[in-house]
Structure 1
């Protein structure tokens, strides 16, 4: 008879301990170097243009290849994480862009560098999905908002430090030095993360109960909880006749089945908005300043001051998100982003430009952190990474075309057109989230969990719900529950 270890419930009930703090540090380091490598383009491309290593056309191709690689990486991470495990995907993605960053530093031509950058970006895109997914699976819901905020701080510091370090390194060691630093840093983080355990929720969903129990006991010890403290409601047994081995693999078409499709659509809307909004505001800010009559030097100075909001916003998340709940926080930051985006074009005094811009960037960064960090919660363990990865894939494909959309808005309607369009997107997604919020509680996920996703389906006598009846979805995957329970207002995050 197999042992059902109730990994999700046991992880959710743990106090924050040594394991959680180390996990967030190591995940955060990966996010830092991911953001560092992703944003080193500005200084690197300018330097290569100045030395004749590249041209404007090749620089544009470099950026397009980067966006495409990020989109492919997001999709790749979802498949890799659900098929081979979170730990494997976690390390593989970091090693991929770390090794290729070192190779990029030796590129003999811009064409070779572009090819390496495309492959490197696949690892970077995968890392974004995996880092947020790891926080979702390991951190208890009551503290998850705080740690998503910390992850956002690591990402913001990566963006900030990329510009600051580039200002020093590129003149001294050329653009190649930036790739060396990013690659070496990523490999150091990879080495530090080599002993991170596999997700016990994923192990349990694949029928590997003994391994899941061993990992859980290790985490419980590091959290100050002994095996004697685990009550009968947390450890039960599989019913007689349960099959051994791996649970059935659920095809990605499950994301478009009746019980799940509305969650998938909400994840897409949320991800597209947070990525496009962040790109439009942060990527075009210096251009907006120049359009308002500033010289380039002043524009860059204003931009540096305002971009500090990219760290301040997630820092605010650390203190308030767990008090408000993640859905309410997303609605709050979406509303604030819409309001301050609407106010920004009317600012003309330098002090107000900086103050309003700082708050705008901070709220946009907070919305980005919570948007990317919350969407993995919409899906049960068996297809959680593919659900989050699919949403990020669509969002990053949108970024490939976003420069053309922003340019058209800017050419046709000026700064007002761009900012007000972004403001409108935040209004729409906030209203949708308020009216049709996704319930991310464990009971709601039970209703859409595929058969064999034992992490999310309680079966023991001490559980709050009886086993759910198996039914076939339109995709052919075995799903539980009725479609009506898959889309409810989020009562408890």
Structure 2
């Protein structure tokens, strides 16, 4: 059936041409989409966004097995966030336990973020090649064991060493969790599910903050929170044992198995990097901004409320919980809205509104005021973040959606890894007078200025980037098994190009087929 959509100019080629086209497309309501026919011929057309469906109707489209995959991905990402924030919200406890400054303790955060990209590459490629199941099981169990090892670190040097290793395995969670959760969702439900999925990060923070509040403020109570994190991570690993490999992954693997050639994995990987290197660089830059965005606005916020606003440990924790509750709500709503409003427009509007809320975020002096302003700014910070899982998945080369999403996200994390140290060091170098007339480190002004710069960076980078909303990435098989059909105009036969090799199907008059494979 012929399409009734208006034809559009083809996708621009080159960095500046793509940026120009992407910026102009922001102001066109219809979405530019690439359509491919059965012969591999592609063209662009303008497609009008579908009206938003009732979220409960979208939920009903997911079968029980789909919910199992999504729930496991969500909980794995939640456990990752719990494990990370178990450290960041207990900075002052750990500083007292190891007799170190807050800045020195945040060195552990930096080391964790630095090594996450290594884990993302290793577990992401394993997930794209062998499936999501067993890499995730291994990943989550080892994460739990490393939480236990952290508890028994006797010296600060041992603590840093364990947290470095912890970061390596933590990096493998995001790519496999996101790809497994979203590839099993219907296309029109992915905006909503992406928003919910990303809020596993905020939900993990809320759980860690609740655990911290429950164990009290004594110095050694940080160990109890780490025990809870260890049990949580290991439980998710065992949960993943209970159901099979992703159905889409198995079907795609079977479909591409017959065309597989020796060394196809590396040939396809090199071909992808040659073709998609600009997209890789763009997504790394975008994820760098986004990781600065979250870490700058969150990691030192509890310390800011305690030291500059004179809140008690319990009051600061309560305000943090409400702040991240706003994040969960905002990420879900705006991720859902992006299905209609567009991925990039949602990100840009959310980021700019969060920038406007910065004064209201850092000026209040009471627990209620800080809770309300924290709720609102994180509504939009995580509102922008809620679009990221599906946006990255749609931008990634389809066969590499686990490794690409994980690596670009974690490389952005690695580049932004000194964010907590930068904020703490800058704040500790500037003294201000608080509302009670005492001197305090300038956490609020430093976080406000840094967040404003980051908001502008996110808005500009997103405005000049591409968007591929509605892409059917789940149809691609594992790396090395993907065949793209291309029509031979002269003979009318169909040939398949795969990983730099050509598989040409020659059909005689009787209909018997024969396939020859030759290197290009």
Asked whether the two chains share a fold, i.e. TM above 0.5, the reply is yes
Deviation at 1:383, TM superposition (A): 2.1
Aligned pair 1:55/2:71, yes or no? no
With over 3 angstroms needed to count, the CA separation of the structure-2 counterparts of 1:254 and 1:281, relative to structure 1, is: farther
Deviation at 1:304, TM superposition (A): 4.5
Deviation at 1:21, TM superposition (A): 1.3
Distance 2:472 2:95 in 1: 55
Aligned pair 1:21/2:67, yes or no? yes
Map 1:184-263; keep pairs closer than 5 Å: 184-203=231-250, 207-209=253-255, 242=259, 247-250=264-267, 252-254=269-271, 256-257=273-274, 259-263=275-279
SS of the aligned residue for 1:453 comes to coil
Deviation at 1:305, TM superposition (A): 3.8
Aligned partner of 1:387 in structure 2 is 404
Distance 1:355 1:130 in 2: 35
Aligned partner of 1:295 in structure 2 is 310
Aligned partner of 1:152 in structure 2 is 198
One of 386, 394, 398 as aligned partner of 1:377: 394
Deviation at 1:254, TM superposition (A): 4.6
Aligned partner of 1:34 in structure 2 is 80
Higher helix content, 1 or 2: 1
TM-score by length of 2: 0.68
Q: Deviations over 1:93-147 (max 9, x none)?
A: 1122022223433444444343333222222221122212223322222111211
SS of the aligned residue for 2:181 comes to helix
Distance 1:84 1:124 in 2: 19
Q: Decide whether the 8 Å contact of 1:208 with 1:245 is kept in 2.
A: no
Distance 1:45 1:412 in 2: 20
Q: Decide whether the 8 Å contact of 1:263 with 1:438 is kept in 2.
A: no
Aligned partner of 1:216 in structure 2 is none
Distance 1:142 1:70 in 2: 31
Aligned partner of 2:26 in structure 1 is none
Distance 2:254 2:98 in 1: 52
Distance 1:478 1:331 in 2: 41
SS of the aligned residue for 2:244 comes to coil
Aligned-CA RMSD value: 4.1
With over 3 angstroms needed to count, the CA separation of the structure-2 counterparts of 1:325 and 1:91, relative to structure 1, is: farther
With over 3 angstroms needed to count, the CA separation of the structure-2 counterparts of 1:25 and 1:69, relative to structure 1, is: same
Distance 1:392 1:252 in 2: 18
Map 1:77-476; keep pairs closer than 5 Å: 77-169=123-215, 174-203=221-250, 207-209=253-255, 242=259, 247-250=264-267, 252-254=269-271, 256-257=273-274, 259-286=275-302, 294-297=309-312, 302-317=319-334, 319-341=336-358, 344=361, 354-406=371-423, 415=444, 418-442=447-471, 452-454=481-483, 457=484, 470=497
Distance 1:336 1:63 in 2: 28
Distance 1:406 1:351 in 2: 24
Q: Decide whether the 8 Å contact of 1:149 with 1:314 is kept in 2.
A: yes
Q: Name stretches of at least 5 consecutive residues in structure 2 with no aligned partner.
A: 1-37, 39-57, 432-441, 488-492, 503-520
Deviation at 1:159, TM superposition (A): 0.5
Q: Name stretches of at least 5 consecutive residues in structure 1 with no aligned partner.
A: 5-11, 212-237, 461-465, 480-493
With over 3 angstroms needed to count, the CA separation of the structure-2 counterparts of 1:331 and 1:92, relative to structure 1, is: same
Q: Decide whether the 8 Å contact of 2:327 with 2:379 is kept in 1.
A: yes
Q: Deviations over 1:31-56 (max 9, x none)?
A: 22211111111455543444x45534
With over 3 angstroms needed to count, the CA separation of the structure-2 counterparts of 1:193 and 1:290, relative to structure 1, is: closer
Q: Decide whether the 8 Å contact of 1:170 with 1:177 is kept in 2.
A: no
With over 3 angstroms needed to count, the CA separation of the structure-2 counterparts of 1:87 and 1:334, relative to structure 1, is: same
Q: Deviations over 1:327-374 (max 9, x none)?
A: 433233233223323764676798665444321111111222322442
Based on CA coordinates, which of the two structures has the bigger radius of gyration?
A: 2
Distance 1:404 1:62 in 2: 10
Deviation at 1:165, TM superposition (A): 1.0
With over 3 angstroms needed to count, the CA separation of the structure-2 counterparts of 1:399 and 1:255, relative to structure 1, is: farther
Could you tell which deviates more after superposition, 308-317 or 20-29? 308-317
TM-score by length of 1: 0.72
